Amino acid sequence: MPSRRRFLSAASLAATGLALAPLAACSRDAAAPVSAPATAPPSPPPANANAGTLIARAIPSTGETVPVIGAGTSGSYEIALDSPDFARLQETIKVFFDGGATLFDTAPNYTNADEVLGALLAAGGWRERCFLATKIAADDRAAMEAQWAETQRRLRTDRVELLQVHNLRALDIAWPYARQLKQAGATRYIGLTHYLESGHAALVEAMRAHRPDFVQVNYSVNAPQAAQTVLPVAQELGIAVLINRAFDDGKLFARVKDMTLPAWAADVGVTSWSQLFLKFAISHPAVTAVIPATGRPDRQADQLRAGSGPLLSEAQQAELVAQFA
Ligand SMILES: NC(=O)c1ccc[n+]([C@@H]2O[C@H](COP(=O)([O-])OP(=O)(O)OC[C@H]3O[C@@H](n4cnc5c(N)ncnc54)[C@H](OP(=O)(O)O)[C@@H]3O)[C@@H](O)[C@H]2O)c1
């Protein structure tokens, strides 16, 4: 494992009264808090009692596994650092990691979500447990380089696990840059994302041309088209898949407000619509993990319950697609 620089020396950290985030089993350097908001200092993460209960899936390009339930940060993590919302997110992220989950997805253009996530990971000492995914979202090389420098500052780390080209933006420039960062050890994996059906054809074309480690795409009971487009190609090419918008950006909850769960839900261990929408996503065999967003600890706990027990049969998946079409 290559040695990596830290942003602040131990001496300068000591001068600010901050401790380094504790190192977990992983041998890579821990992230160094730059300026944590007014929260308790980092303490060692608690024993992970629930780790292992979540289903884990292998990333085809390496065989490394990640739990099937991850988290997104769009909207739900776009909060003020010095607000009560930050304390609520501290509870939420604790539920996430204590439950055995690891994968977080963010982006430099979700206003300040990456800065909030960086602060939360540092404050809780979670960075080494986190499989951290972010994006390149800029139009030229100079802007991409400046953005990556800012990303490291905001996430309080000098490397991520996954760097994705956001919505294929400026792909001809962004992809060579992503590959270069991977070669330099700044990211373990590189990927491509989209979130609209209208982007699936271009995403498939780019998957065939560039063979990314990961692809990220929208897939939900009311937008299941990826099962005909991106997902089979990912299986064919051996590309890991992250699912975004499994709740259609939250809109699905309004649709099920007065609806009862299918009679068979208990047979697959499902007790809420949130769990059912997530279980739908992870029941496709191409899917590596789903990354729902929430800023609430109760909803986070509920989401994690989708990551164990039986998956949905093809008939159950088809029934949901017909119901929400
Ligand atoms: N192009 C791209 O690369 C791209 C595009 C879209 C998304 N993404 C990634 O994918 C992640 C997920 O997508 P998304 O955030 O757009 O949508 P989503 O996960 O489908 O929905 C998130 C929304 O659902 C709400 N929610 C969660 N649980 C709920 C419950 N039990 N009842 C009612 N509302 C609930 C959340 O609000 P609360 O916080 O209040 O719970 C949030 O507003 C993003 O955060 C981002 O990381 C990437």
Q: Which residues pair with 191 in a beta bridge?
A: 164, 214
Residues 6+ apart with CB under 8 A from 185: 2, 4, 159
Mean pLDDT throughout 35-45?
41
Mean pLDDT throughout 14-23?
27
Q: 282 in ligand 1 pocket by Cβ < 6 Å?
A: no
Q: Using CA atoms, how far apart are residues 166 and 54, in angstroms rounded to an integer? A: 28
Closest atom of ligand 1 relative to the 251 alpha carbon: 24
Task: Summarize pLDDT for 159-209 with one digit per residue, the tens.
Answer: 999 999 999 999 999 999 999 999 999 999 999 999 999 999 999 999 999
Q: Please report, in angstroms and rounded to a whole number, the separation of the first and last CA atoms in the chain.
A: 48
Q: What is the chain's mean pLDDT, rounded?
A: 88
Task: Report how far ligand 1's centroid is from the alpha carbon of 1 (Å).
Answer: 34
Mutate to test the pocket of ligand 1, among 69, 73, 74, 85 (most ligand atoms within 8 A of CB): 74
- Overall residue count recorded for the chain in this entry: 325
The predicted pLDDT at position 155 comes to 98
The predicted pLDDT at position 49 comes to 45
Mean pLDDT throughout 217-230?
98
Q: Does the structure show a pLDDT above 70 at 218?
A: yes
Give the percent of the chain with pLDDT over 90: 84
**Residue with CA closest to ligand 1 atom 48:** 244
Closest atom of ligand 1 relative to the 193 alpha carbon: 3
35-39, 279-283, 285-289: which range is least confident on average? 35-39
Task: Report how far ligand 1's centroid is from the alpha carbon of 75 (Å).
Answer: 7
Task: Summarize pLDDT for 75-124 with one digit per residue, the tens.
Answer: 999 999 999 999 999 999 999 999 999 999 999 999 999 999 999 999 99
The predicted pLDDT at position 130 comes to 98
pTM of full prediction above 0.85: yes
CATH annotation of 4-16+46-324: 3.20.20.100
- How far does CA 240 lie from the centroid of its chain? 13
Residue type, 141: R
Q: Does the structure show a pLDDT above 60 at 31?
A: no
Q: Using CA atoms, how far apart are residues 217 and 91, in angstroms rounded to an integer? A: 28
Reported confidence tier of residue 40, pLDDT bands at 50, 70, 90: very low
Rounded to 5 degrees, φ, ψ at 261 are -65, 155
Task: Report how far ligand 1's centroid is from the alpha carbon of 74 (Å).
Answer: 6
Q: 108 in ligand 1 pocket by Cβ < 6 Å?
A: no
The predicted pLDDT at position 15 comes to 27
Q: 248 in ligand 1 pocket by Cβ < 6 Å?
A: yes
Q: 291 in ligand 1 pocket by Cβ < 6 Å?
A: yes
Mean pLDDT throughout 62-83?
97
